[in-house]
Every structure is written in C-alpha cells, then in structure tokens.
Structure 1
Amino acid sequence: MAVAYVAKSLGINAVVCISNRVPEAKLESLRRLNAQIEIYGHSQDDAEEYCYHLAEKKGLTIIPPFDDPYIIAGQGTIGLEIVEDVPHVTDVIVPLSGGGLLSGIGLALKSIDPNIRVIGVSAEHAPVMYESLKARKAVKIEERDTLADSLLGGIGMDNQYTLQMVGQYTDDILLISEEEIAYSMAFMMDKHHMIIEGAAATGVAAVLENKLPRHDGAIVIVISGHNVDLSVLFQLIQRYNDLSH
C-alpha cells in the first residue's frame, strides 16, 4: 500500500504482486491508488517468486517488503516517534512476520534505551519468524488462512537482515490465536470506534489476553493497518455481541 501511495504521488507506475489470499478491501485500496495488481499463487511466497520473474521480464525495480536496509531504516522512524510521543515508554508491541517493522523499531528503541522491551506478536497461523528463530535459521512453513493476512509469507531462505535483527532486538515473541484476533478487532470497534485489520489486532490481543509478562509500565501497541472486508466486519461484530451478552 505504501509503495502504491508513493508511486501515485510521484507519477510512477506501481506493479503490486499479491497472492489470492489478500482480502478484497486491500485490493480496493490498491485500485484507488492506481496500482497495477498482479494476483499469483496461494501464498505470499508464490507472489514474491512471480514478482522477481516479472521484474526480470519487464525490467522493473523491486521494492522488497522487509529484508532490506532502507525498508528497515524507514520503519525504524516509528520507533523514534514513539519515544518522542511517549518518553517514558517501557514496552512496545509490534506485529511480526518477515520482521522489517520490528527490526527497524527495535533498532531505534534499543539504541535510545536498551531497557525498553520490544515484543513481537505473530498469528498462530503465521509463525514463520518464531519458528525460524527457534531453528536458528530461516525455515518454511505451510501458510494457513488467518484474519492477520498481512502476517502471512516466509522470511526468505536467504534472509540477510531481519532474522538476525529480530533475534537481537526482541525480548519476547507471542503467538495469537484466531479467536483472540477476532475478539480484539471487534473490541477496538466497540470501545474505541477504530477499524483495524487482523495483523494490527495481534498487539491488542496480547494485552487483552494478559499475555505480557508484566503490566506495570507504559505500553505502546503499534497499530499497523485497517483494511478489512465488510463481510468480515459483520461476522466479527455478530460473534462479539454473542460473547458480550
């Protein structure tokens, strides 16, 4: 989405390669930004492979999604903003998949104050970084459908940066179930009038489900997107209402 936004602002054509798991809400947002959408395969890894094929065939420039020093540095500015806005922050919760977001934020935060805890949150259905860190090398896992579709995809078997950086800057990684993600999305709509997508809800779920080892500090949750299909929202609200009554 960010690539499509910047490309439109600069008058550059953006080609976005995605899998058929990406929800319609995100496709609509990409269309509004005039992106050329290429749908290929049933996983983000399939789409990435096709992206490299397309780039070679048409002479396009690839913008990597996460494992790139410039991408990591750009996302690290979020860490700087957090410290500016919440100077007494003690814990920062960051959605985790390929690890670009957490690598950048973790590097920024730990450079300012090594005592700030950085906690990664992944969907149980998309734990590739969690499993890679356990194995101490990049691994492949089978993708399963998840409300946190933005957290799908591998970390790249030739990962150069994020595997090492996530291991270095993360204090803990928590896995969040589909039920916890769904409840947290509905909770944010009900209590805060915010529509957030599944990946963004993983951090909220970590707090609501008391998964953090401590709760006595200033906790910041990185909310990382709000693209959700209306049909999914309707189902979430129904389930939430049933649980609340």
Structure 2
Amino acid sequence: MKHAAYIRAGAALAAVTMGSLLCGLAAAQGVYRIVGPDGKVTFSDQPPPAAQAKPVAGASGGSTGAAPAGGNAALPFELRRVAGQFPVTLYTGKDCSPCNSGRNLLNSRGIPYVERTVTTPEDAAALTRLAGEPTVPVLTIGSQQIKGYSDVQWGQYLDAAGYPKQSQLPANYRRPQPEPLVAVQSAVPAAATQAAPPQASQGPATTSRPAEIPVQPPSGIRF
C-alpha cells in the first residue's frame, strides 16, 4: 500500500512540475524597436507594416510550437518533439560569467537553443519589459522564465520538460548565431524615387483591355 502511495505521489509531483512549465510567467515575445517618421522610438511585439523581418526574441507563448533554428529538422524525433513543445532561449550579456556557465551547461547537454544578446540600452529596456528586470542570464523553457544561473535549477526544469541528460545532437548540427534582443526597423518605407515628368499627349488616349479568358473550375467543384 505504501509503495502504491509513493507511485501516486510521484505521478502527482511530475504533473505539477510539467504544469509549472505550461502555466509559468508569460514568456518573451518578439520585440521590435520602431523608429517613426517623427523620430520617436517605440517598442512593439508586432513588426511594422513595411518590415519583413522576423521577430528576434525567443520563442514562447504563442510560438511555443515553432522549431528552433540551426538545423532542427535533423534532430532525432524525440528531441525535435521536446524542442518544439518547450523551445529554449538564453538571454546573455557581455563579460558575463554566469552567462558563460549557462551556455556551457546547455551545450554539454546538447540542448537546441537560440541566444539573444543584451548589449544596448534598447536591449536592456526590452528585457525589462519581458523579464521584469535587465539582469542576465535569463533562460526560458517553453513559457517558464528562470532568472539567474543555477545548474541545479536549470537541470531540473530541463529534465521536467523532457530534454535528455546526454547530448543527442547529430554531428552536423550547427547552432544558430546569437542575435540582438531588439531588431531595429523603420516604421516608414524608403522614399519612392521621383516620377518622370509626363510627356505631351500625341493624340486621344485609348484604353486597351486585356483579353478575357474564361476560367474553368476544377473538375467536381462548383462556384
């Protein structure tokens, strides 16, 4: 009876641990530094209409299903599944020993992760919005934020998420290069080139219409 009780208690503890991963603090979203036409700088988690760049912050929240970059398609199935469900993002700074220790831990365990650097005042302001304070390192695992480095704590959360203790990365795996936390995008497109002056009319204008081609719907489909 005691053995069965221990099993039920262990299962409940595992469920609580996994629940904390899913229901933790709100995860970091992509952040853009937008410079308006009047020179005013604003921050947003949505890119400006004219920008084609992708968000640069770590994957989490609504993008927990996104696969990390850097050859994730070549990962073993189970590791790819875990990385897609609980993507890992590491926020680091310059001359940061705890950041180096955290990076070494992730590398030694073969964790596929993306790294975002905090080096400018804009980066620090964005990190404050995301984590509540501009302190590095910050690790996100799915929707869970872990502030500061602790090999024991980081290991426990990685274990709870289902990451293997030993590296399973293929030999040809290449980690994505670290990128700044804040991407700078202009809110207005570049000025259009000046149009050529209109030429004098040579006669009455005629309007040509393209030939109308009847459209045949695919077989079996009716509009």
TM range (shorter): under 0.3
* Greater radius of gyration (CA): 2
TM-score (normalised: structure 2) = 0.24
